[in-house]
């Protein structure tokens, strides 16, 4: 039972650690159903239950355990074996808290590098408010020096039941034969302390269990000449290596290695039938070369070095891949292990980039990814900046999880990536004098002698590599509203410059907050972001637009969506892409992704391997970094958004819709040249379909942006220049003057014909014009629009067709929606379905006229239902504000007929003694709400990304 429980813990921890990405995870119930109970899966090597055998000298202290001494670990915190309280027996290790910290360490436990290890314990807390309990595992080398430490999640509170805390799987140092672990039981303190009063705060530890299990490891072998085994370019050889240690090699096993794409579809599998060998015979690793065309079964007693392949070129397209290895015996699964890697399109590396990553909580562990690997991941992803917390790094120099930051910075510099030092992690003594206020402005506004001595060794260590420093992280709003901010930044800069090299200083600034640009100098920057997570991209764009002042360096901090498994990949990609587009259009100096690491839906996984969004991020950085954004956007018939870009020698469009990512894409049509290609955010490139009648490209557009490549520049620029002069008319009967305007963008003179396509019920004169234009010449084609009696408010679909003769004949058509109504007076309707089936129609007229243009309006209103008697209402002397009128459709047969025939119903409001005519058409049942029934829109739904909102 213990063994089965441990393996369940093992797999649960694997899932909690994020080793299975969001859409790559197996259900825990399914995992439990597949577990084995044979002794070779996991065996206990040490159990501490604090019974009599653990206290043979009867002193109330576990034998050979050591209590930490020192000022911070006072003796008045009582700790001893409790002989009346236990998890399964009557004894446990108890701490009586009284305003201090305490730690008990076990004796050394020998471990074997062949196995993986798990540690669990039962903990119970009483009357805790501020302190917490924690379990630790320290790895010691042969000289008993600690080289690594792992800790559990802290536990606090007041509860009667025993709670399980666990750590693992833990992999020993594979380079050392002799090593040990030590278990620690900790009482941690915070800003406030639990002290003994009428109720004594207490913590009990019991049933501390250390187990070892066989180890199945899997990895990919780096391509020739590469330092990382996580990234491959198209065409490079990919070999997967699986290694089994600690199993009974005298018995027959089966190893299955499966390859999955980023949609969690299994695309290949390689089984190995593993024959028994003698104990003293080594078992070489198993190698699978993915250049093989299929995963045919292999039978081996050792290292099946894979069948020879006629081609070294991998068959895998660009994307992110997961490899899952499973070890079975007699049909029962014993072990699982996995890794991931990415295959990348070949592209030139960026020598200068506006994009970056920020790690406010620290880098991925050095035990998971090396400095060189991390730098290579950053370089391939298109980074020019990396933000790292540096204040605490000097104190953590001996932490095995801590990277050698000087080495990392040097690796980054070789790849043209600039390090920004984040000062968001001051030492504990400075945190105490801040009185719990986490804003860094409260610290840096103190006298220099309070904070500079602690910071001086940090500046001294990193000044050769770091010139950019950010005071606080991208959630710290404490600098907003400070008096004399500019003077204070100058003083801080002078202190930094005593060791540094003319440093740049930055602070965080929230969206929508006015930036005092005169307080920032040429060596300052602001990092725009939001403490309210997941703000919409249009808020970001608006903040950038409003802050365009002088030479202010405006950086942008963007987010990922939360690691909620209900959020689909398309939502995540669309949200990320639209933020980047908004920042690019808004003119951000740098675009920094905050926390690229996530358990699911990240650019990186928690072990530093490429995550679900690595490929889309890389495509966006490479496509947009050097792109120049055009002034205007191109309109499409079905409402797609677009941004025109000039990237090096190529003109292209970014195209997307704001529909729900779950909805199907919609077709858009446009003629953009003869060599047009479509590329998506996963690097796939396709040719668009062509309408054989019009010659237009047919493009499927969804919520995830796509790139329209190789656009013919004169054609695209012509379309960007063309529009209506006024773009809208008032809802008044009679003639309205308008014009089509544009410019010849071809490098030579042109001639041709322009035709206007308006709905047939609208009288437009003329509808066709001949043109003759010199290079760069603008044109204006006047026309008259007559407002029809049944013209409705809102957008009217219109198209402008061009037939142009230049170096050749070009024929294309542009969608240009035309707005009916000025927005000063509007007519809308709502529908409600009553329990008896009757339908209530609420007419809403809003008068928005004000100031010198203010009017008091009266209307004769009518509801027109096909085949039914008209219903009339009057609106009298409506000043600024709204008027609501109710119509009822009582006859159920009429309602059924209208719903079956799907005919339009009209509301018409004709101004009394005026020219305004307001029309509104709708179908019965559209956007209706049942009276007395909770609205569907108010029901709880799965989370949506902010990609569903309008962008700039």
pLDDT tens-digit readout, 85-106: 999 989 999 999 988 899 999 9
pLDDT for 61 equals 94
Rounded-to-integer distance, Cα 177 and Cα 212, Å: 16
Instruction: Kindly indicate whether the domain formed by 722-819 is annotated with CATH number 3.40.50.10260.
Output: no
Which is more confident, 904 or 437?
904
The per-type count for the chain, helices as H runs and strands as E runs, is 13, 57
Closest-CA residue to 695 (of 670, 667, 722):
670
Q: Which stretch of DSSP H or E encloses residue 104?
A: strand 102-105
Architecture of the 42-213 domain: Sandwich (2.60)
pLDDT for 193 equals 85
% of the chain residues with pLDDT over 90: 47
pLDDT band at 227 (very low <50, low <70, confident <90, very high): confident
pLDDT for 824 equals 87
Give all strands of the β-sheet with 677-679 in edge-to-edge order.
627-629, 641-647, 650-656, 706-709, 677-679, 685-686
Domain 355-625 has what CATH class? alpha beta
**Residues, the chain, total?**
952
| SS3 label, residue 370 | coil
Respond yes or no on whether the N-terminal peptide bond of residue 589 is cis (omega within 30° of 0): no
Give all strands of the β-sheet with 778-787 in edge-to-edge order.
723-724, 734-743, 778-787, 763-765
- Rounded mean pLDDT of 221-237? 86
- Rounded mean pLDDT of 865-872? 91
Lowest mean pLDDT segment, chosen from 223-232, 555-564, 820-829, 922-931: 922-931
Closest-CA residue to 117 (of 179, 49, 185):
179
Instruction: Kindly indicate whether the domain formed by 825-938 is annotated with CATH number 2.60.40.10.
Output: yes
- From the CA atom positions of the chain, what is the Rg in Å? 35
β pairing state of 839-847 and 881-889: antiparallel
pLDDT of residue 297 exceeding 80, the answer is: no
Rounded-to-integer distance, Cα 228 and Cα 234, Å: 15
pLDDT for 792 equals 78
Cα 484 to its chain centre, rounded Å, is: 36
Residue 119's region, left for phi above 0, alpha for psi from -120 to 50, else beta, is: beta
All residues at 6 or more sequence positions from 467 whose CB lies less than 8 Å from its CB, including other chains: 418, 500, 501, 502, 503, 504
Evaluate if pTM is beyond 0.85: no
- Rounded mean pLDDT of 527-542? 76
pLDDT of residue 19 exceeding 50, the answer is: no
HSE-up of residue 920 (Cα within 13 Å, Cβ side): 19
pLDDT for 30 equals 26
Q: Find the angle CA(155)-CA(161)-CA(162) to the nearest 5 degrees.
A: 55
β pairing state of 385-389 and 418-423: parallel
Identify whether the C-beta of residue 220 lies closer than 8 Å to the C-beta of residue 322.
Answer: no
pLDDT for 948 equals 35
Rounded-to-integer distance, Cα 25 and Cα 264, Å: 9
Rounded-to-integer distance, Cα 582 and Cα 541, Å: 5
Spell out the SS3 assignment of 425-492: CCCHHHHHHCCCCCCCHHHHCCCHHHHHHHHHHHHHHHCCCCCEEEECCCCCCCCCCCCCHHHHHHHH
Rounded-to-integer distance, Cα 900 and Cα 897, Å: 5
Identify whether the C-beta of residue 298 lies closer than 8 Å to the C-beta of residue 304.
Answer: yes
Give all strands of the β-sheet with 928-930 in edge-to-edge order.
881-889, 839-847, 825-833, 928-930
pLDDT for 28 equals 25
pLDDT for 659 equals 67
All residues at 6 or more sequence positions from 657 whose CB lies less than 8 Å from its CB, including other chains: 639, 640, 641, 665, 666, 701, 702, 703
pLDDT band at 947 (very low <50, low <70, confident <90, very high): very low
Mean pLDDT of the chain: 84
pLDDT for 608 equals 86
pLDDT of residue 927 exceeding 70, the answer is: no
Residue 631's region, left for phi above 0, alpha for psi from -120 to 50, else beta, is: alpha
Domain boundaries along the sequence of the chain: 42-213, 215-344, 355-625, 641-712, 722-819, 825-938
pLDDT in tens, 915-924: 888 999 888 8
CATH topology classification for 641-712 = Immunoglobulin-like (2.60.40)
Architecture of the 215-344 domain: Sandwich (2.60)
All residues at 6 or more sequence positions from 489 whose CB lies less than 8 Å from its CB, including other chains: 505, 507, 519, 520, 521, 524
Here the tokens at position 254 are 């089966």
Here the tokens at position 199 are 């109720």
Rounded-to-integer distance, Cα 489 and Cα 471, Å: 10
pLDDT for 714 equals 92
- Rounded mean pLDDT of 633-644? 81
Rounded-to-integer distance, Cα 416 and Cα 351, Å: 6
Lowest mean pLDDT segment, chosen from 283-292, 632-641, 899-908: 632-641
Distances (CA, A) of 259 to 21, 256, 269, 311, 321: 14, 10, 6, 19, 7
HSE-up of residue 75 (Cα within 13 Å, Cβ side): 0
% of the chain residues with pLDDT over 70: 88
Q: How many CB atoms lie within 10 A of CB 930?
A: 13
Identify whether the C-beta of residue 872 lies closer than 8 Å to the C-beta of residue 887.
Answer: no
pLDDT in tens, 754-764: 999 988 888 99
pLDDT in tens, 357-381: 999 988 888 777 889 999 999 999 9
- Rounded mean pLDDT of 32-51? 63
Q: Exposed, middle or buried by CB within 10 Å (0-12, 13-18, 19+), for 145? A: exposed
pLDDT of residue 346 exceeding 70, the answer is: yes
pLDDT for 82 equals 96
Closest-CA residue to 417 (of 464, 452, 375):
375
pLDDT of residue 296 exceeding 60, the answer is: no
Which is more confident, 617 or 12?
617
Respond yes or no on whether the N-terminal peptide bond of residue 855 is cis (omega within 30° of 0): no
pLDDT of residue 655 exceeding 50, the answer is: yes
pLDDT of residue 185 exceeding 50, the answer is: yes
Q: Do domains 355-625 and 825-938 have the same CATH topology?
A: no
Which is more confident, 122 or 541?
122
HSE-up of residue 878 (Cα within 13 Å, Cβ side): 24
- Rounded mean pLDDT of 512-526? 86
Rounded-to-integer distance, Cα 499 and Cα 269, Å: 57
């Amino acid at each position: 039972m213990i063994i089965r429980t441990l393996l369940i813990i093992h797999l649960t921890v694997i899932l909690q650690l994020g080793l299975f990405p969001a859409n790559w995870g197996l259900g825990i119930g399914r995992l439990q159903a597949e577990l084995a109970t044979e002794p070779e899966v996991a065996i206990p090597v040490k159990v501490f239950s604090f019974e009599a055998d653990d206290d043979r000298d009867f002193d109330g202290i576990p034998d050979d355990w050591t209590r930490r001494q020192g000022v911070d670990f006072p003796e008045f915190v009582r700790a001893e074996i409790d002989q009346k309280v236990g998890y399964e027996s009557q004894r446990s290790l108890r701490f009586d808290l009284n305003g201090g910290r305490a730690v008990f360490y076990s004796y050394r436990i020998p471990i074997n590098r062949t196995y993986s290890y798990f540690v669990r314990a039962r903990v119970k807390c009483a009357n805790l408010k501020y302190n917490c309990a924690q379990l630790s595992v320290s790895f010691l080398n042969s000289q008993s020096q600690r080289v690594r430490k792992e800790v559990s999640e802290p536990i606090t509170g007041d509860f009667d039941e025993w709670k399980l805390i666990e750590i693992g799987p833990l992999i020993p140092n594979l380079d050392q034969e002799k090593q040990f672990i030590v278990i620690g039981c900790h009482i941690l303190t915070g800003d406030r302390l639990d002290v003994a009063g009428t109720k004594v705060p207490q913590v009990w530890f019991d049933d501390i269990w250390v187990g070892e299990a066989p180890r199945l490891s899997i990895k990919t072998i780096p391509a020739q000449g590469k330092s990382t085994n996580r990234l491959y370019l198209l065409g490079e050889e990919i070999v997967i290596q699986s290694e089994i240690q600690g199993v009974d090699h005298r018995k027959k096993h089966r190893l299955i290695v499966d390859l999955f794409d980023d949609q969690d579809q299994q695309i290949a599998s390689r089984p190995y039938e593993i024959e028994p060998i003698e104990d003293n015979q080594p078992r070489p690793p198993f190698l699978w070369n993915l250049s093989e065309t299929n995963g045919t079964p292999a039978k081996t007693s050792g290292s099946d070095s894979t069948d020879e392949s006629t081609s070294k070129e991998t068959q895998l397209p660009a994307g992110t891949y997961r490899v899952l290895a499973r070890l079975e015996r007699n049909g029962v699964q014993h072990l699982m292990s996995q890794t991931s890697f990415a295959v990348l399109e070949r592209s030139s590396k960026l020598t200068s980039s506006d994009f970056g990553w920020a790690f406010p909580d620290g880098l991925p562990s050095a035990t998971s990814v090396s400095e060189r690997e991390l730098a290579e991941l950053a370089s391939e992803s298109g980074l020019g900046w990396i933000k790292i917390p540096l204040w605490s790094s000097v104190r953590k120099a001996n932490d095995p999880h801590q990277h050698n930051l000087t080495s990392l910075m040097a690796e980054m510099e070789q790849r043209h990536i600039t390090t920004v030092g984040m000062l968001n992690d001051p030492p504990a003594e400075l945190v105490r004098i801040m009185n719990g206020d986490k804003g860094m402005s409260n610290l840096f506004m103190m006298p220099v002698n309070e904070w500079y001595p602690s910071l001086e060794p940090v500046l001294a260590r990193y000044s050769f590599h770091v010139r950019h420093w950010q005071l606080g992280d991208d959630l710290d709003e404490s600098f907003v509203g400070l008096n004399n901010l500019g003077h204070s930044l100058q003083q801080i800069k002078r202190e930094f410059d005593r060791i540094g090299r003319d440093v740049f200083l930055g602070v965080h600034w929230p969206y929508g907050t006015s930036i005092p640009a005169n307080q920032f100098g040429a060596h300052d920057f602001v990092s725009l972001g939001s403490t309210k997570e997941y703000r919409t991209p249009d808020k970001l764009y608006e903040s950038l637009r409003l802050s365009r002042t002088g030479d202010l360096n405006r950086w942008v901090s963007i987010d990922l969506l939360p690691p909620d498994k209900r959020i689909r990949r398309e939502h995540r990609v669309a949200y990320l892409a639209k933020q980047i587009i908004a920042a690019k259009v808004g003119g951000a100096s740098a675009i920094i992704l905050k926390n690229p690491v996530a358990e699911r839906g990240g650019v990186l996984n928690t072990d530093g391997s490429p995550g679900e969004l690595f490929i889309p991020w890389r495509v966006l950085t490479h496509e947009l970094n050097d792109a120049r954004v055009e002034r205007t956007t191109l309109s499409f018939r079905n409402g797609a958004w677009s941004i025109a870009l000039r990237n090096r020698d190529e003109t292209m469009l970014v195209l997307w819709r704001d529909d729900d990512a779950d909805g199907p894409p919609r077709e858009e049509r446009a003629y953009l040249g003869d060599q047009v290609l479509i590329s998506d955010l996963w690097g796939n490139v396709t040719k668009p379909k062509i309408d054989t009648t019009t010659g237009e490209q047919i493009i499927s557009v969804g919520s995830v942006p796509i790139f329209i490549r190789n656009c013919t520049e004169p054609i695209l620029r012509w379309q960007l220049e063309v529009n209506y002069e006024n773009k809208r008319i008032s809802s008044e009967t009679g003639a309205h003057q308008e014009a089509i305007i544009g410019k010849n963008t071809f490098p030579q003179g042109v001639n041709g014909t322009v035709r206007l396509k308006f709905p047939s019920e609208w009288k437009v004169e003329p509808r066709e014009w001949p043109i003759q234009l010199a290079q760069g010449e603008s044109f204006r084609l006047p026309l008259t629009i007559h407002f029809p009696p049944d013209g409705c408010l809102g957008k009217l679909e219109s198209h402008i067709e061009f037939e142009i003769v230049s170096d050749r004949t070009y024929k294309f058509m542009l969608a240009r929606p035309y707005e009916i109504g000025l927005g000063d007076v509007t007519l809308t309707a709502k529908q409600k379905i009553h329990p008896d089936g009757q339908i209530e129609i609420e007419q809403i007229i809003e008068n928005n006229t004000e100031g010198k243009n203010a009017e008091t309006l009266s209307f004769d209103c009518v509801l027109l239902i096909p085949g039914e008697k008209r219903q009339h209402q009057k609106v009298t002397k409506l000043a600024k504000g709204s008027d609501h009128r109710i119509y009822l459709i009582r006859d159920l047969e009429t309602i059924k007929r209208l719903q079956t025939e799907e005919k339009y119903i009209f509301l018409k409001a004709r101004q009394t003694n005026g020219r305004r005519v307001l029309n509104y058409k709708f179908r019965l049942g559209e956007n209706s709400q049942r009276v007395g029934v909770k609205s569907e829109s108010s029901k709880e739904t799965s989370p949506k990304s902010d990609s569903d909102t309008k962008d700039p």
